[in-house]
Every structure is written in structure tokens, then in C-alpha cells.
Structure 1
Amino acid sequence: MTTISVKAAPLQEGLTLPYAEAGYPRGTPVVFVHGLSDSWWSFEPLLRRLPASLHGYAPTQRGHGDADRPPDGYRPEDFASDLVAFLDAVGIGRAILVGSSSGGVAARIVAGSHPDRVSGLVLVGVPATLADKPGMTGMQETIEGLSDPVPRAIVEDLMSGMVARPVAKGLIETMIEQSLKLPAYVWKETLRGLLEADLRATLAGILVPTLLIWGDEDSFLPRSDQQTILDAIHGARLLTYEGVGHVVHWEEPGRVLADLADFAARTAPADAPGNR
């Protein structure tokens, strides 16, 4: 197991993001991007198991966890701008971006707009679109009705559909506590940003090597959604994990890391020029 260090990255306009770093200095840089209500803790199961070939970074996005909470700036393009600024702040020239759930939207925006900074893109349980999903109406109504303090029962209910199989109880409890750190306005503005954006447009212009990882028991995303991404990104390939739910890396961290390491070896070997 590797040691996880928690640090702080100062970005533009006084915004500071905490981030976790783990792995080996000469490993391929990999930046993990979490989704709505999560924090860097979502990737703790991966960070503590990183192989020697990878050097991992997991920033907590604005408004989430212990990050700064500006009054606005919660659209997908805002999170994408923060991601580029994060690469600058920690001195990463090029990295593999690994986006989980809605975090994959910001990751793919960066892949399309800053291909010189992205050596590869991995989308783990990431939607092609959101507004057309059957469960989104109820979720939107729930989140729009939030007020501070956000009720724990609502977060627990939202979290209940994330996995198809039992995972460590401590992990779920940690993620509930992280979600409860979000003020109601961050929940609302982040989801509004995702629903109002043309998410299909964020799939255009991606030319970097791309890997999709999806669990076939994902209660949020059907297989057809992943096909939409495959059709939009030339050369993208899909790995389907049978019997796994939405947050694939919570249920199968070892397998995700093995597939990520293989992808990195094929697309961005640690000694490749420009990785740092």
C-alpha cells in the first residue's frame, strides 16, 4: 500500500482546493476527478493501492468536501477550468484524467479543449447525457428542495443506489459525511449546471485515447448511454464489469487499477516525454 498525503493547491482568484497525492514520483501522472457531492475520499480505495507505475492526484472540487466554497461557478466548464488550473498549480504537464460519474464531464471537457495536457481519458460510470435519465426528475426535485442543514436521510437515500454489492461500511459512511459538507446551494447549482449544459456537445473533439469503464448493474446509466460515448469518441473502448453498480471503483478497486495501469502503459508510459 502507498502513503496518501493531503495537500492544498492554490488556484486562481484565491480559490484553494485540497488534494490527495499518492504513488511514485516517476510514475505516470493520473488525476482523479470526482462527481457531485463527493471529494478526494471517493478515490481512497485506489490511491492506497496504486502500483509503482502510477502517480495519483485527487483534487476535491470547489464547494465540495473541505474545498473553498465560492458563491458561484458550479457549471461543468467552471470545474473544467479549475482542473486545468490544478494541473498548473501542482506542476503537471500532461496527465491521464480519470473521471467518475459527473466528474467525467469536466474531465472530457479538458480532454477536448486542452489535448496537450491530457495523455489519456478514463471515464468510470460517466453519463453521456443526464436530462433524459428516468431517475433525474425525482433527483432534481429532491435536490431543489434542499435547505441547510442538508438532512442526512436524504444523502443516505441518494447514496443507496450507488453500488450493486456491499462495500466497506466505513467507505459509505465516509462518503455520506463528505456529502453532508456541501451547502444546499452547491448541490443545487452543480446539478443545475449539469442539466442545463449540452452534455452531448462535451463529447465532441476528443482525440486522446479514451477508455470507458461501466458496471452493468448501474441503476443510473444504461448500456445505450455508454454506446453514445463510444460513437462520439473515435477509438474509445468499453470495459463492462458484470454485476457492478454505478461507482465501479468502490466495488472493484483492484480491477479498476489493473485496467488503468494497462491503459497507462499503452498510452502514457512513465518515461514518456512531456508527462511532467
Structure 2
Amino acid sequence: DSDKPASGYRKEDYLADVTALMGELGQKEVSLVGYSLGALVSIAWAAQNPDQVRCAVLVDPSLGTPPGVIAHYQRMAAAAPPSFSSREEIRTYFYTKYDRNIDPDLLEEYIKWGFFPDTPAPGYWSWKHSRQAAVETFATRVEDNHLYLPHLTCPTLFIRARESQMFSPAAWDALQEMGKGNFFFAEIPGADHGIMLQRPGAVADLICNFLQEVHAN
């Protein structure tokens, strides 16, 4: 488990973290896979460091997101309960949030790794991630992320959840109309922005197949 600084959760902070990690590991080239904000960070880092990125997979990035949707997610992040009295209460929270359209086995894994048991008191469960980080991170999404897109030169797979609230149909269409030969597209039905909890197998298959194809060439 990592530390939770009081601040430093905007996109430029994450970009600096990726750069520092690359230096620490001594990596010359990487393949980037990012979901949601991670996809936005991947877009920016790949555009800024084209010689170090072999390929990128971007899962439901927040592109063309309506301001009202941004505000809704900011309110949700701020209003999320700080702790839960049982695992069942956690399940109810997520089933309500995603209309029960969640892989139950994956949700159990998320609870196992995403919460501290017996915190803040015996029998309670609290988030491992910083709630303040979630609020600060959502402010990042209003930036002009699309400005980086023309500068992506590596093979790049965009994966969109068909009912996504964050990756707008207009942005999806505009990407395809750019006509960049290094851009590839896949849309997954039966999922919204919670795609990683709703259709994990479909996402994993697309990622693995794309990475294998790129690295085979």
C-alpha cells in the first residue's frame, strides 16, 4: 500500500510520477495502458515522449465529457461514504452506483484490495484511496485533453464503453474522422464508464490481443 499525500493529484503530478518511474526503472521504451484518468495521463505522456512509447491502449478516456457529467462525478466523489459497516454495505453501494451491472467476482476482488478492514473501528471498512485525491483528480478532467491527440505517433487503441458518460459519442466520432493510420478503435456494448467492473473480460481480451499484435511486428 502506498502513502496518501494531502495533495498532488492533478494530471501534471501523475505525468511527473510516470517520468520519475521510468528513470528509476531505467526503461527505454514502454507500452502504456490506461483507464479513465490513467488514459488521459497516457495520452499526454505518449504525446510528450514519443520516442519512449511503443504503443498505447486507452480505455474510456474522458474526452468530450459534458460539464454536467464532470460536476456529477465530482459530487459523487465528495459524497462517497468514508467507511462502511460491512462488506454487504460496500456491495450495496457499488450495485446502486452501477445498477447491479457489475461482475460479482471482480467486485469481491476490488473489496479485498481496495479497502482496509477494521478501519476506523473493528468491523468497519474504509477506502484505501484518498477521497480528497478523487475530488482533486476529477478537476483534471476539464482540461483540453484533445490537444494532445494529434501528437500521438505510436499505435494507439481506443476502447469505448458504448454507454459511457465520460467518452462522448462526438469525441469518439471525431477521433475516427481524424484519419490517423496509427489509431485503432473498439467499442464494448453493455457497459458505461464502469466498464472495468462490468466487462473486464472483454477489455482484457482487447488489450492483450492488441499488445501481442504490436509487439509481434
Whose RCO is larger (CA < 8 A, sep 6+)? 2
Displacement after TM superposition at 1:69 (Å): 2.5
Q: In the alignment, which residue of structure 2 is the partner of 1:124?
A: 59
Deviation at 1:228, TM superposition (A): 3.5
Q: Which runs of 5+ in 2 are unaligned?
A: 117-125
Pairwise CA distance, 1:123: 0.7
What is the distance in 2 between the residues matched to 1:161 and 1:110? 30
Give the fraction of aligned pairs with identical amino acids, expressed as a percent.
22
Aligned to 2:164: 218
Aligned to 2:41: 106
TM-score, scaled to structure 1: 0.60
Structure 2 SS opposite 1:82: helix
Segments of 5+ residues of structure 1 without an aligned counterpart are: 1-65
More displaced, 209-218 or 137-146? 137-146
Give the aligned length.
201
Q: Are residue 150 (structure 1) and residue 82 (structure 2) matched?
A: yes
SS state of the match for residue 268, structure 1? helix
Normalising by structure 2, we get a TM-score of: 0.74
RMSD: 3.3
Distance in 1 between residues matched to 2:152 and 2:201, nearest whole Å: 28
Deviation of the 1:219 alpha carbon: 4.2
Q: Secondary structure at the match of 1:123?
A: strand
Q: Tell me if 1:202 matches 2:144.
A: no
Could you report, residue by residue, the CA deviation over 1:84-138 in whole angstroms, capped at 9, with x for unpaired residues? 22223233321211111111011111110011111111111112144x2543222
Q: Which runs of structure 2 are paired with 1:122-271 in the superposition (5 Å)?
A: 122-130=57-65, 132-144=66-78, 150-152=82-84, 156=93, 160-161=97-98, 164-168=101-105, 169-174=107-112, 177=115, 180-195=127-142, 197-231=143-177, 234-235=180-181, 236-269=183-216
Report if the CA contact (8 A) 2:188-2:202 is conserved: no
SS of aligned partner of 1:200: helix
Cα 1:163–1:201 shift into 2, 3 Å: farther
DSSP 3-state at the match of 1:69? coil
In our comparison, the structure showing a higher alpha carbon Rg is 2
